[in-house]
């Protein structure tokens, strides 16, 4: 029995030793074969990188680092390596102590903006300050998206080390770097960085002056507001004036008539447009006479239409001369139609002769119809002659003739009945039935015996 036990023990030890030796040999072979795949390139290499953590061969991260810095490495491989690093989370430092150098290498050398942005977003989420100087070097990167990611990273933690570099951008001799300074203000929340804003309102570059106005508006720098309003009137560049006028509108400076009345007669059409749109939004009747005057001089059909809309919004015709000029001189029939409409809704008495003329002579049917509508809306008896003359035109559109009957009914003057009766008698077209209905209504209204009886009772 003792002999058997001794024999069994020897056999067990032999088996265990054999298993250990076999496992060690098998493990070394697997590590070597995996490394071979890792260094093979192509899709095999990419798969090996993706599965490296699960394989447990963390020692191979040193080889991965060398692959990352290789001149032949492609974009997809870089992405897989960065994803591998990220999968280790905080453990990556235990297996690859110098992994931060790999991130810095990519940030400094990669031409792929997407990769750079993703690294910056990653380290921003971790508020990792170790890359601050590498990021500072990227503040002047060619890509606005990369610069945005840089500034967002620098804003993810508060570190005064960045301030001198931001200030340096603001005083750079290169206009583009001064622009980058303003760009940084959009993303880095630190009021101390605003030190150069006032000076940049007078920068030689119009683009920088315009961007400075945007910054002042965004961060509500009320102390610089008066300078922006001066630019709205006097800056030599129309883009700067445009941004300054838009600033004045957003701040609801409707009482600054000096800015907007000057803007609607500016030589640049974009300035005129932003000014008239601001006036339309203000709905402040004090501007109506100025808009009416500008309407007389305006050459753009689009802007004339906007000016008419602003008069309607203010519910004031501003004297009416602008509407008269548009109705008689404008080449676009839709704008003439809008003018005819505005004359009616704003009760512009001075423009009635122009309505009569347009009703009789305008070549556009939509303008003639709108002119007839406005005469009716205004209950303008001085328009009756023109309305009757067009009603008698049997070649005219029945749509217009129908509108004339409606307008005559709105004016409500019984003296028209004999004239309309004569027109009805002479009209042999199907339209005669509509005139007959008009006469029936007028007769019932003014010559109904029952109505007279009720009145006398």
Domain membership flag for residue 48: yes
Distance CA 377, CA 380 (A): 8
The answer as to whether 233 is a domain residue is no
The rounded distance, in Å, linking the Cα atoms of 321 and 330 is: 13
User: Which of 111, 108, 60, 97 lies closest to 81 in space, CA to CA?
Assistant: 60
Band (pLDDT 50/70/90 cuts) for residue 449 is low
Asked whether residue 67 is assigned to any structural domain, the reply reads yes
Q: For the chain, give the longest Cα–Cα distance.
A: 148
DSSP 25-39: HHHHHHHHHHHHHHT
Q: Identify the burial level of 300 via C-beta atoms within 10 angstroms of its C-beta, where 0-12 means exposed, 13-18 middle and 19 or more buried.
A: middle
117 close to 149: Cβ distance less than 8 angstroms: yes
Inter-residue contact 378 to 411 (CB < 8 Å)? no
In a domain, 345, yes or no: no
42: left (phi > 0), else alpha (psi -120 to 50), else beta?
left
Residue 454, pLDDT score:
34
Residue 319 dihedral angles phi and psi, to the nearest 5°: 110, -25
* C-alpha–C-alpha distance, residues 209 and 226, integer Å: 14
pLDDT of residue 9: 43
Region class of 400: left (phi > 0), else alpha (psi between -120 and 50), else beta: alpha
Find the angle CA(51)-CA(55)-CA(61) to the nearest 5 degrees: 75
Residue 363 lies in a domain: no
Residue 62 lies in a domain: yes
Does any domain span residue 382?
A: no
In which band, very low, low, confident or very high, does the pLDDT at 6 lie, cut at 50, 70 and 90? Answer: very low
* pLDDT tens figures, 149-178: 999 999 999 899 999 999 999 999 999 999
Q: Is residue 64 in some structural domain? A: yes
Per-residue pLDDT, averaged over 412-425, amounts to 94
More confident: 24 or 323: 323
pLDDT at 445: 87
Q: What single DSSP character describes residue 83?
A: H
Average pLDDT, the chain: 91
What is the token pair recorded at 346?
């704003």
Number of domains making up the chain: 1
What is the average per-residue pLDDT within 49-59? 95
Q: Which domain holds residue 61?
A: 33-97
Contact between 104 and 131 under an 8 Å Cβ cutoff? The reply is: yes
């Amino acid at each position: 029995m003792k002999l058997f036990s001794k024999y069994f023990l020897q056999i067990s030890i032999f088996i265990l030793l054999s298993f250990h030796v076999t496992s060690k040999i098998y493990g070394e072979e697997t590590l070597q074969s995996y490394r071979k795949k890792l260094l093979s390139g192509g899709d095999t290499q990419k798969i090996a990188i993706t599965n490296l953590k699960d394989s447990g061969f963390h020692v191979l991260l040193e080889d991965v680092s060398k692959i990352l810095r290789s001149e032949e490495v492609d974009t997809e491989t870089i992405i897989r390596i960065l994803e591998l690093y990220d999968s280790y989370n905080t453990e990556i430092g235990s297996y690859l102590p110098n992994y931060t150098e790999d991130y810095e290498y990519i940030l400094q050398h990669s031409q792929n903006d997407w990769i750079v942005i993703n690294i910056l977003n990653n380290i921003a989420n971790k508020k990792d300050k170790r890359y601050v100087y590498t990021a500072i070097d990227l503040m002047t990167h060619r890509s606005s998206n990369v610069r945005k990611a840089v500034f967002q990273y620098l804003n993810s933690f508060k570190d005064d080390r960045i301030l001198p570099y931001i200030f340096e951008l603001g005083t750079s001799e290169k206009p583009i770097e001064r622009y980058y300074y303003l760009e940084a203000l959009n993303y880095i929340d630190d009021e101390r960085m605003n030190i150069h804003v006032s000076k940049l309102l007078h920068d030689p570059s119009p683009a920088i002056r315009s961007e400075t106005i945007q910054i002042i508006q965004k961060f509500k720098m009320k102390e610089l507001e008066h300078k922006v309003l001066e630019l709205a009137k006097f800056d030599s560049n129309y883009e700067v004036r445009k941004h300054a006028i838009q600033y004045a509108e957003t701040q609801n400076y409707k009482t600054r008539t000096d800015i907007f009345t000057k803007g609607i007669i500016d030589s640049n059409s974009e300035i005129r447009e932003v000014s008239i749109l601001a006036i339309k939004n203000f709905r402040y009747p004090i501007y109506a006479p100025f808009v009416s005057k500008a309407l007389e001089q305006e050459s753009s059909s689009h802007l004339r239409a906007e000016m008419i809309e602003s008069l309607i919004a203010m519910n004031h015709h501003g004297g009416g001369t602008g509407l008269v000029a548009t109705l008689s001189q404008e080449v676009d029939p839709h704008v003439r139609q809008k003018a005819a409409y505005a004359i009616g809704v704003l009760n512009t008495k001075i423009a009635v002769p122009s309505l009569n003329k347009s009703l009789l002579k305008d070549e556009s049917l939509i303008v003639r119809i709108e002119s007839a509508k406005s005469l009716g809306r205004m209950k303008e008896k001085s328009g009756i002659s023109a309305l009757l003359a067009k009603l008698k035109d049997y070649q005219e559109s029945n749509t217009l003739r129908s509108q004339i009957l409606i307008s005559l009914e709105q004016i409500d003057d019984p003296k028209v009945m004999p004239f309309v009766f004569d027109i009805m008698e002479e009209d042999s077209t199907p339209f005669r039935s509509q005139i007959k209905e008009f006469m029936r209504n007028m007769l019932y209204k003014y010559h109904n015996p029952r109505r007279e009886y009720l009145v006398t009772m």
